Structure 1
């Protein structure tokens, strides 16, 4: 099979959550994923997009299936500038460490995240990309 000419990456992933404000605060304060866009009032948004590719969708009554259910999102892999700082920051949020390792965390709604140490400067380089810019 020949090498593909097209190169792609996931610009964002949409995730349903029961408590959107908790998730907004966690991703912003622990991982530095600030707001890119918001749908609805700031104190109770319907949807919230972060710089860094996450879309949170407020879904009242949402209940994640058991973590061994293969029909739901398995996990989010998140590149971080400083893994140790991210893990230390996450400890106060009541997240649970998963058996895969200390960098695997389960959030209260059941979402699993894998925090991955990025190479120097790579997070800033990716965040500098404007996914909504139109090409000339």
Structure 2
């Protein structure tokens, strides 16, 4: 999902908004400056895990749908049950220019 807006340095923003309405916020109380993990619904779980791994992610200790990116960010990938991804991508948000 592309970043559509951010606060702070573009390379390391304090906040970022992704297409479809996801907002990510840096946790400044965490000495590592990151969240525990984020969860993302995907249309094809196997393909998403495969694509992440060939780009440098590793399967995380919690299970095969959990990945850790090279920078340490942990992502839980969740298989959609219906049309959740399309529904989410069609959400109109008021703060996008």
**Normalization by structure 1: what TM-score?**
0.52
**Unaligned residue ranges in structure 2 (runs of 5+):** none
Greater relative CO (CA pairs within 8 A, separation 6+): 2
**Correspondent of 1:55 among 20, 24, 40:** 24
Corresponding residue for residue 5 of structure 2: 37
Corresponding residue for residue 80 of structure 1: 42
CA apart distance, 1:48: 4.1
**Unaligned residue ranges in structure 1 (runs of 5+):** 1-32, 58-62, 66-71
Corresponding residue for residue 15 of structure 1: none
**Normalization by structure 2: what TM-score?**
0.69
SS in 2 for 1:114: strand
Q: CA RMSD in A?
A: 3.1
SS in 2 for 1:102: coil
CA apart distance, 1:132: 1.7
**Correspondent of 1:109 among 45, 67, 71:** 71
**Correspondent of 2:59 among 69, 90, 97:** 97
Count residues in correspondence: 91
